[in-house]
Structure 1
Amino acid sequence: MVKTVLCYGDSLTWGYDADTIGRHAFEDRWPSVLQEALGDQARVIAEGLNGRTTAFDDHLADCDRNGARVLPTILQTHAPLDLVVILLGTNDMKPIVAGSAFAACQGIARLVRLVRGHAWPFDYEVPEILIVAPPVICETANAPFAASFPGGVEESSKLGTLYRDLADELACGFFDGASVAVTTPLDGIHLDAENTRALGRGLEPIVRMMLGL
């Protein structure tokens, strides 16, 4: 039976391209690379939104970026699911949102609880959950981005350890995005085409293992 994977994330999943201030080609986005690697054994759903947080409001946003508020609707939309991959936390580093790695970790825990406590239709089974720590924010000369993420370099560097411990505590899978991808100094936040592809390639082995493929 074909497995279904939901990739729940922010602009790193959407495919924001800091070079063109647009969107990476479809085939370069990491969910697309993961789909290509898994072939007809799985269906990969890309659910990325620029600016999405784990569980916090962004009152400057033009749409609902609170990941906890939107997630139940998305789960219901795409059910049944075999695996939910959560790649969030970078936007939580903004002081106007939350401003700390600890807060982002709490937000991820909230998302895990939402998946496991969801009222799945038709007695569908609860999917496995893979927590992915985003690549670390880097220094940038881009003034607006640097001003939006003061302290982000230091705080985001804590996400890998915090998320790994949380995954152990909650019996989720874990992958450290910083182990295969680095952010671009063009804005300090996003991934160039090669690094977003690398993220998709890096995720393939653990996704295969968690799906039993």
Structure 2
Amino acid sequence: MTKKITILGDSLTYGYLPMGEGKMAVGDNWPSKLADLLAQEYQPVNIEIRTDSQPGRTIVKPLVDFGFPQDNAMDNLRALYGKTSPFDLFIIFLGTNDYFGYDAYAKYNNLHDFNIEEKIVTSLHDIIKGMKNLYVDNYEEPDYKVLVICPPKAITLNDGELLTSLPDAYENYFSKYNIPVLNLQAVANPGAEDQVKYDGVHYTPTETPAVAQAIFDIITNQDLLRLNK
């Protein structure tokens, strides 16, 4: 038996190292560590994990130009479906770049009532609905589970802890649709920005095991691969 997991993410899934030091080794990144945990838990079931992640990725087309090449999940959804379906679990780990983009847009345009959190969660829901529609359009049954991951805090030198409004927004919104949410801010945050080793946003290899463990725990506790006896 094979169980397939598709992961849609940004630099926090890609393995982008803090301070622009490149990409961490595949074995050091959390998807690889998650695969090891699941393989051990569910042997002899074959667990196949496919990731689609890019640094700078947003959920939908951003409202501001970040000054570097970007893509967004919505524009890549059809390609992702073509490469990875059918799957048993769809994990979406996005929102960090959207938060910074919307925050910059609101400040630049002096928009005091700009609801960043609502825009992020509704855009994520559009991704979930879009993937389901691709299944239906291709006469396939969307028989898979969805897990939404709330990004960790960004811990900055000058502005303190950012993104802290996201966990409540994620959990309150997706609870209405019975879609589980993992709040990484409770269990796995990056090192605080020090402009030497940490940028306050990205994980180091020593921090990825906690990410993998948290995702493993919610997959097994909620039986998201439907393998528990």
Could you tell me the TM-score, scaled by structure 1's length?
A: 0.85
Moved more, 73-82 or 83-92: 73-82
Aligned to 1:136: 153
The one of 126, 133, 149 equivalent to 1:117 is: 133
Deviations 1:174-198 (A, max 9, x none): 1111122112222121112122221
Q: Secondary structure at the match of 1:91?
A: helix
The alpha carbon displacement at 1:127 in A equals 2.0
**RMSD of the alignment, in Å?**
2.2
> Which AA in structure 2 matches 1:105?
V
Aligned to 1:35: 35
Aligned to 2:17: 17
Deviations 1:94-141 (A, max 9, x none): 236766233211221111111222235462434211000010111136
Unaligned runs of 5+ in 2: 40-44, 107-115
Could you tell me the TM-score, scaled by structure 2's length?
A: 0.80
**Number of residue-to-residue matches in the alignment:** 203
The alpha carbon displacement at 1:25 in A equals 1.6
C-alpha contact (below 8 Å) 1:30/1:200 kept by paired residues: yes
The one of 79, 85, 88 equivalent to 2:91 is: 85
**Does the alignment pair 1:49 with 2:54?**
yes
Deviations 1:141-195 (A, max 9, x none): 6xxxxxxxxx7944x1011111111221122121111122112222121112122
Q: Distance in 1 between matches of 2:144 and 2:78?
A: 13
**Does the alignment pair 1:76 with 2:92?**
no
- 1:135-174 maps to which residues of 2 (within 5 A)? 135-140=152-157, 153-154=161-162, 156-174=163-181
**Does the alignment pair 1:191 with 2:203?**
yes
Unaligned runs of 5+ in 1: 142-150
The structure number with the bigger radius of gyration is 2
Bigger share in helix: 1
- Cα distance change on mapping 1:28 and 1:5 into 2, 3 Å: same
Deviations 1:12-63 (A, max 9, x none): 0000111561111211111111111111431111211101111123644654
> Which AA in structure 1 matches 2:9?
G
